Amino acid sequence: MILGFGMDLRHLFLIAFIPGILALLILLFFVEEKKGEGAVKPSWKPGPVSPNFKLYLLSLILFTLGNSSDAFLLLKAQNTGIRIAFLPLIWVFLHVVKVITSIPGGVISDRIGRRKVMVAGWLVYALIYLGFGLSDRDWHIWLLFALYGIYFGLTEGVEKAFVADLAAKEERGTAFGLYHLCVGLSALPASVVFGYIWQQFGELYAFLFGAALSFIASFILLAFVREVNG
């Protein structure tokens, strides 16, 4: 299938790699790693973690359970009326926005705090899923994917940075291990549950489910999780 631009789907999917390559080049050639003075190597030390960190993990679990595969977003775009041939363009657009907003997202988190940025990002995510559930126009899809890219830019690196903020240096190995364990185990059933709800009750209720969990996770993060360093 050939698009009006003279490119087929294979070419468009290849173009989708460009933002990732640009991000990698920026990381390799323009970002310098600061050498810490007397840095303590993170190590895995089984033991109790603080109640504050447990609440953070709880919020992450709930949010991840509502964070289904992006394939559902593309399926929604197709159901809304966007031609299959244009789905790669939407994917490219998403990653361009993601790359553009990732650096400002990190700067903002340094200035106002990780938690506030994460709460804002998760609330944006909830509104995005609500929007996908209600959308019925092509331009709705493009707008929602732009907002989705902004969400990624705001939160993708901040979640891990917040783990480092909440854990003492000698406990960061344990903290990051628990973080990846909770996120990984929660991600496994997320898409299965989302797909089941979509199949049994319709796409609107599936997106409402994701939005509801995001709102709940945002509330827990804002109301009960304290920022330790900043």
Q: Which distant-in-sequence residues (6+ apart) come within 8 Å of 210 by Cβ?
A: 66, 67, 68, 126, 129, 194
pTM beyond cutoff 0.85: no
Q: 213: closest CA among 122, 142, 137, 134? A: 122
The full set of domains in the chain, from first to last, is 52-224 (1.20.1250.20)
Q: Rounded to 5 degrees, what angle do the CA atoms 17, 23, 26 make?
A: 140
pLDDT digits (tens, 9 = 90+) for 63-78: 999 999 999 999 999 9
Q: What is the pLDDT of residue 177?
A: 93
Q: 97: closest CA among 130, 128, 62, 59? A: 128
Q: What is the pLDDT of residue 43?
A: 46
Q: What is the dihedral sign for C-alpha 184, 198, 221, 103?
A: positive
Q: What is the pLDDT of residue 230?
A: 46
Q: What is the pLDDT of residue 105?
A: 82
CA 135 – CA 121 distance, rounded (Å): 20
CA 154 – CA 128 distance, rounded (Å): 14
pLDDT digits (tens, 9 = 90+) for 1-33: 334 444 444 554 455 455 556 655 654 565 554
Q: What is the pLDDT of residue 5?
A: 44
Q: What is the pLDDT of residue 31?
A: 52
Residue segments in the chain with a per-residue pLDDT below the cut of 50: 1-9, 12-13, 16, 27, 33, 36-40, 42-44, 230
